[in-house]
Every structure is written in C-alpha cells, then in structure tokens.
C-alpha cells in the first residue's frame, strides 16, 4: 500500500540520518555543558548567588590567565597574576580589556579552569564570561570576577591534592549589536 521502492527507502533513510545528525549537533552544546557542570569535566565551574558559609584555614593559590582569539584586536590581561585565598573565602579579581582601534568592537569570553579535577569546586558568583562586551575606540574597562573555592575540595579524592587553580579566559570577536552596527554604518556613509 505505502511500500517504498529501494531508491525511495534509501532516500528516506538518508534524510532520517541527516535529521538525526542535525538534532545531535543542535543538542550537543547544551548536553556537553550539562555534562561538564555535573562532572567537573573540562574544568567547568559552578555558579552561586552568594559566598560560602564555611571558610577554612587552609589556603589555595588562584592563578589568572588571559588569551584572545587570533586576530582579535583588543588587549586583554589579568590585573593580577595570582592570589592566595582561604578555601571558602570570597575572592575578587579583575581583568582589563582595551580597544586600541578606531572602531567599536564587540567581544565575548569563554573560560576554563585547571586542573580539571578542581573545576567543579571553583564557584563563580559574578563574572563577565559569555556576556557581550562592546568597547568603543580607545576604551579601557576593568571586568571583575567574584568567586570562591568550595570547601568540599579538601575531601574530594582527586581534587584535594590541588595546590593551585588556574582560571583562564579567552576573548573572541562577535557581531556588534544591531543598534551600534547601524550607527557605525551611518558614520561610514557620512565620511565617504
């Protein structure tokens, strides 16, 4: 009745495979993000609204690293290379970004934490990561990161041996917001 011929069956299977692969690609980022947050794999961190209720006498060093996508014109750096804090204590660090060009540039950053075993114990309270940042020509900004190291790190089988944690941010260029891009386009028309 609705039987498919060999060619039609092959075409239907090919379309099914393409749709299935497309669905997997679409779901891969949120699934990977969820997996990293649950397991701490890839140095994924946790997020909290407030600091820890428990502060230990034991300290840990937190190192700060900055990089940027190739050809991304901003200057980007941590304002301090390292700090030692008590485990559970709220820390505040700053990164600086500077746009040395003559045009506005939008950027966003991703992060990772090393060693990976300690990633799930590094808890961010406030951060500039994954947020759109637009710097005007010659603009320099300081971007804060508020965090703490979860006291449970000292009882974790693998992470308890970590003597330092490195927080790394990588900035990359994104499209300008439509309102700023429209202003830029008008400025270019007026100068030509």
149 and 130 within one domain? yes
Q: What angle do CA 61, 48, 94 make, to 5 degrees?
A: 45
Cα 121 to Cα 178: distance, rounded to the nearest angstrom? 38
**Which residue carries 């703490």 as its tokens?**
148
Q: What's the pLDDT at 145?
A: 95
61 with 103, same domain: the answer is: yes
Mean pLDDT (whole number) for 39-48 = 55
Find residue 101's DSSP bridge partners: none
**Which CATH number goes with the domain that contains 139?**
2.60.370.10
Order of all β-strands in the sheet with 59-68: 82-86, 59-68, 164-174, 105-114, 133-135
The range of the structural domain enclosing residue 102 comes to: 42-180
User: 26 or 125: whose pLDDT is higher?
Assistant: 125
Q: Are residues 35 and 47 in the same domain?
A: no
Given a cut of 70, is residue 157 above it in pLDDT? yes
In terms of domains, do 23 and 100 share one?
Answer: no
pLDDT digits (tens, 9 = 90+) for 54-78: 999 999 999 999 999 999 999 999 9
For residue 185, is it within any domain? no
């Amino acid at each position: 009745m609705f039987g498919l011929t060999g060619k039609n069956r092959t075409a239907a299977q090919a379309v099914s495979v393409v749709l299935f692969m497309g669905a997997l690609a679409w779901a891969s980022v949120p699934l990977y993000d969820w997996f990293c947050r649950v397991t701490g794999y890839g140095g994924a961190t946790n997020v909290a609204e407030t600091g820890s209720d428990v502060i230990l006498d034991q300290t840990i060093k937190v190192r700060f690293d900055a990089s940027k996508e190739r050809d991304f014109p901003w200057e980007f750096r941590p304002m301090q290379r390292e700090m030692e804090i008590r485990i559970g204590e709220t820390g505040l660090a700053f990164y600086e970004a500077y746009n040395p060009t003559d045009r506005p540039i939008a950027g966003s950053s991703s992060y990772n934490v090393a060693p990976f075993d300690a990633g799930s114990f590094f808890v961010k309270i406030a951060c500039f990561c994954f947020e759109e940042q637009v710097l005007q020509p010659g603009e320099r900004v300081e971007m804060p990161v508020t965090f703490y190291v979860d006291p449970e790190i000292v009882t974790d089988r693998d992470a308890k041996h970590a003597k330092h944690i490195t927080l790394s941010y990588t900035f990359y260029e994104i499209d300008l917001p439509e309102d700023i891009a429209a202003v830029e386009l008008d400025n270019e028309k007026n100068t030509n």
